[in-house]
Amino acid sequence: MTTFLPESIFKAYDIRGIVGESLTEDIVRQIGLALGTVAQERGEHSLCVGYDGRLSSPTLAAALTAGIADTGTNVIALGMVTTPMLYFAAHYLAQTSSGVMITGSHNPPPYNGLKMVIAGETLSSEAIQALKQRILQQQFAQPPEPGKQSFYDIYPAYQAAIVSDIQLARPMRVVIDCGNGVAGAYAPALFKALGCEVEPLFCDVDGHFPNHHPDPVEAKNLQDVIRTLQTGEAEIGIAFDGDGDRLGVVTKSGQIIRSDRQLMLFVEDVLIEQPGSKVVFDVKSTRHLSPFIREHGGKPVIWKTGHSLMKAKIKETGAAMGGELSGHLFFNDAKAGKPRWFGFDDGLYSAARLLEIVSRSPDASAVLEALPDSVNTPELQIAMQEGEPHAFIASLQQSAPFPDALEVITIDGLRVEYADGFGLIRASNTTPVLTLRFEAEDETALLRIQQAFKQVLSNTRPDLKIPF
């Protein structure tokens, strides 16, 4: 029985901690016991298990497998795969619609964690807290014999599914930067199979991440792609995070196309096939999305940030697709009445869809750079003590002190809409910080909106270090 179960590892979207400290082999084994038990209760008798390229991942996967098997649940080992390949296996394999991925995603090297799908549901929030309670109470299945273990190579079926779905209008030369994450084991081969000439960067899997951190949201991590595009013959650059579920895109001129702008490119394509469909996007995303979706015959749905929360909302609303500023894109659309993908976030599939669209033009970069844009900030952060951010935001939501706003959206923090821009403040669900983002038609409007937020923050908590 474990006597050490840190509260901090049970996040809103996944389980995550520092290996050997807050996330040990024993804790992961007990999480396996909880997951195997929940799977059995939901009528699932097998679970897929995959792991990323981090140094600690194989050992933690073994501990997880042992825990799951001890509940009598069978384990289908996928080996080292991307997180989307684990999700794909849960759709593709007849034996199960459940899986667990050992991954630290884009977090620093000492971290690792688990992303979990049980009976087709990506676990989040209350379901993750319920796992914690089950472990604390040691409420596990006690079968007469352990589950069986087998291995399945999912990549051939995964590649075949993408290659059969995607048709490029012409060959393309592409820079692919995997940041030494697990996508490097698969991305070059996949894009060559699609007909691309690939210039690989850091595609050897190395859990030390010796070149740059595998997080394409940070501009500093895309500088190698930008330099390679400027000096080479490739026409577009794509980058993936540590577990392959997020996408970064760079044009020939070095412009970074964030995923909320990418979403407009995809929306236009998707709504031709499915007019009137809903499109879900998170509160961080550009203000251009709602009018763009409406103009193209769709129905915009703004929602909470978080990959598991987004997937749940897409499933609930039947949306054709969704996207987040963080690089997660979710395709749930159909063509000629036949589903194209499965509604989960997949950086490699998203990149393939993007290339399919831009390959129809002789100048891929021009297509991307023509997407609507505004003056905007990256995500800004204000550090607080553990437990403070959500209470602070709840207090702000009660007063909503923005008298000049057109609208204040409170589904996830406060997104304050003005005629010429918006400001957002929300509590991070992963670290004890407030995150802020601003967007406006011009610098003058941006500064005015920031000043309104600064005034509210200073009046509420004068001690806060405001980064603008």
Catalytic residue positions? Answer: 105
DSSP 8-state symbol, 205: -
- Written as six digits, the tokens of 267 are 């929306």
List residues bridging with 301 in a β-sheet.
280
Give the DSSP H or E segment for 329.
strand 329-331
d(CA 96, CA 76): 9
Whether residue 73 contacts residue 148, with contact meaning beta carbons closer than 8 Å, is answered with no
- Written as six digits, the tokens of 451 are 């000043």
Q: How many Cα neighbours within 13 Å face the side chain of 204?
A: 4
Question: Residue 214 corresponds to which amino acid?
Answer: P
Question: Residue 408 corresponds to which amino acid?
Answer: V
- What's the length of the chain? 468
d(CA 341, CA 134): 34
- Written as six digits, the tokens of 383 are 């550090």
Alpha helices, DSSP H only, in 247-334? 259-273, 289-295, 307-317
d(CA 204, CA 201): 8
200: three-class secondary structure by DSSP? strand
